[in-house]
Amino acid sequence: AQSVSQHNHHVILSEAASLELGCNYSYGGTVNLFWYVQYPGQHLQLLLKYFSGDPLVKGIKGFEAEFIKSKFSFNLRKPSVQWSDTAEYFCAVNAPGDSWGKFQFGAGTQVVVTP
């Protein structure tokens, strides 16, 4: 079955450490890619999105993601995390042929940043 995979379910790191979260998808063709974040007690928020063009996408709060078509990957990065980055991160794919509002989400990665 076609899917979206996030490599890690839980990540614990210290402030100022670098963060990289993996996301792979199994759809062929052109996909639209997103990363969403859910801070504790808050709603899902869009971090960044990729539709076409430069495969290195910059988002809010210092996050960036790189689309590697040959690897079917869309990994999220942040060079130096803060305690406030503690949240759950979701990769989402708008698959070929699907309407704009239909996303396939990964299982999420819970990130805990310790002081």
Partner 1 sequence: KAGVTQTPRYLIKTRGQQVTLSCSPISGHRSVSWYQQTPGQGLQFLFEYFSETQRNKGNFPGRFSGRQFSNSRSEMNVSTLELGDSALYLCASSSPGLYGYTFGSGTRLTVV
The least distance separating partner 1 from the CB of residue 72, rounded to whole angstroms, comes to: 19
The candidate with the shortest Cα–Cα distance to 29, out of 69, 1, 71, 68, is 69
Q: Is 5 in the site for partner 1 (CB under 8 A)?
A: no
Which of 63, 108, 109, 113 touches partner 1 by CB under 8 A?
Answer: 108
Which of 20, 77, 103, 110 is in the footprint of partner 1 by CB under 8 A? 103
Site for partner 1 in 13-42 (CB under 8 A): 32, 34, 36, 42
Nearest CA among 28, 2, 3, 1 for reference residue 107: 3
The CA–CA distances, whole Å, from 53 to 24, 28, 57, 68 equal: 19, 18, 9, 12
- Write out the two tokens for 92: 């989402």
- List residues binding partner 1 (CB under 8 A): 32, 34, 36, 42-46, 49, 51, 90, 92, 98-108
